Amino acid sequence: MKEFELIKQFFTAQPVNRKDVAMGIGDDCALIEASGDSLIAVTTDTLVAGVHFPLDTSARAIGHKAVAVNLSDLAAMGAVPSWISVAITLPEVDEKWLAEFTQGMFELTEYYNVQLIGGDTTQGPLSITITAQGTVARNTALCRSGAKNGDYVFVTNTIGDAGLALAAINGLVELSEQDFAKVKEKLDFPRPQVLVAQMIREFATAAIDVSDGLLADLEHLCKASNLGIDIDLANVPLSDVMLSNLSKKQAITMALTSGDDYQLIFTVPATNKVGVETAMAHANVDYRCLGQLNPSQQINLLLDGENFAVPNNGFQHFS
C-alpha cells in the first residue's frame, strides 16, 4: 500500500466534519475559518516508541494517547479543541495496526468534536507527531504567567497512577492483576481535562497540565508567575491502588515526579474559590487544593510538618 492509498483508507474516513473547515485532507494545506473574537491556540507533541510508550503498547492506546496529550495542552490554556493534523512515521504498512490506531484517535476526536484536517506519513522508526488547534476568546486564555499572589492552587482527580503502571512494567513494583489493569488504563488511555477547563475558565487565573510530573509542572507555573507555594503533601490526591501498594512516602514521591497523568493544575483567587468549588461539585469532578501561592518564588514540600525531599523533579528529555 502506497502513501496516498494509506491516507485515503485510514485517515480520510472519520466521524467529525466541522463547518469551520473550509479545506481538510487532500490539498497542500488545510483551510480553517477563524472568528475575529477568538484566538487560535496551537500545540504540537511527538510520541516516540520506547520513550513515550512501551514497545508493546496496543495501537488503539497509542492513537488515543497521541491525541489526548495534545488536547490536554489545549485544555491547560482554556481552549476549546477543534482540529488536529498527524505526522506518523511507520516501520511498515500494517493495516490491522493502522485500523486500531485510527480507532483510538477517532474515539477521542469524536467525543470532543475535533476534526483531523491533514498531516504526513513516512517510513522509519515508529513515532507520531500531532499538532492540535483550538479556539479561546481573547483575553481569557489561562496562561501560566497569570497566577497571582494568594491564589489557591488546585489539581484534578488523582496523581501518580500512570507512573505506578510504568514502574510495574519495568519490574520495579509488583501489582496484582486487578490493580495493574486499573493503573495501566490510566497510562494508556489518559483523559484530557477539556471539560473541566471550560468549566473553571471564568474563575481561574492560570493553568498547566500535569505531563512531566506534579512538582515539575508546578515549578513551571510558579516560575512563569514569579511566585512560590508551600504544599502540605497530605493534600496530594492519591488513588487507593497507590496507597495499597506503596508506602506513604513512596506514593507521594511517585505522584510528585512520575508524570503522564494529564490532569489539570489551576489557580483561583480567594474571591472565586467558592464559585469554582461549587462548579466542581455540580460537575462531580474530584479535585484537591494543594495550597496558596506566595511571593517566595520557592516550592516548599511539607509532610507531617517536616520538609520533604525528592530525588528528582520530573521527566526531562536529554537529562
Q: What is the pLDDT of residue 25?
A: 64
What predicted TM-score, i.e. pTM, was given to this entire model?
Answer: 0.88
Phi, psi at 76, each rounded to 5°: -65, -20
Residue 308, amino acid: F
Domain boundaries defined on the chain: 3-137, 144-307
Helix 59-76 vs helix 177-188: angle between axes, to the nearest 10 degrees? Answer: 60
Q: Which three cell numbers stand for residue 7?
A: 491516507
Q: What is the pLDDT of residue 95?
A: 94
Q: What is the pLDDT of residue 317?
A: 44
Per CATH, the architecture of 144-307 is what? Alpha-Beta Complex (3.90)
Query: What is 76-93 written as a DSSP string?
Result: HTTPEEEEEEEEEEESS-
pLDDT tens per residue, range 7-26? 778 877 778 888 887 666 65
Phi, psi at 316, each rounded to 5°: -140, 130
For 11, the 3-state DSSP assignment is helix
Helix (H) or strand (E) holding 239: none
CATH of domain 3-137: 3.30.1330.10
CA distances from 31 to 23, 28, 117, 261 (A): 5, 10, 9, 33
pLDDT for 65 beyond 60:
yes
What average pLDDT does this structure show over 15-44?
74
- Please, what is the average pLDDT of the chain? 90
pLDDT tens per residue, range 225-278? 999 999 999 999 999 999 999 999 999 999 999 989 999 999 999 999 999 999
Q: Which three cell numbers stand for residue 122?
A: 513516512
Q: What sign does the dihedral 77-196-285-276 (CA atoms) show?
A: positive
Percentage with pLDDT > 70 across the chain: 92
pLDDT tens per residue, range 94-117? 999 999 999 999 999 999 999 999
User: What residues have CB less than 8 Å from 314, skipping those under 6 apart?
Assistant: 212, 213, 214, 215, 216, 217, 256, 257, 258, 259
pLDDT for 27 beyond 70:
no
User: What residues have CB less than 8 Å from 114, skipping those under 6 apart?
Assistant: 16, 67, 71, 81, 82, 83, 84, 108, 132
| Contacts of 169-175 spanning 24+ positions with Cβ under 8 A | 169/54, 173/245, 173/246, 175/241, 175/245
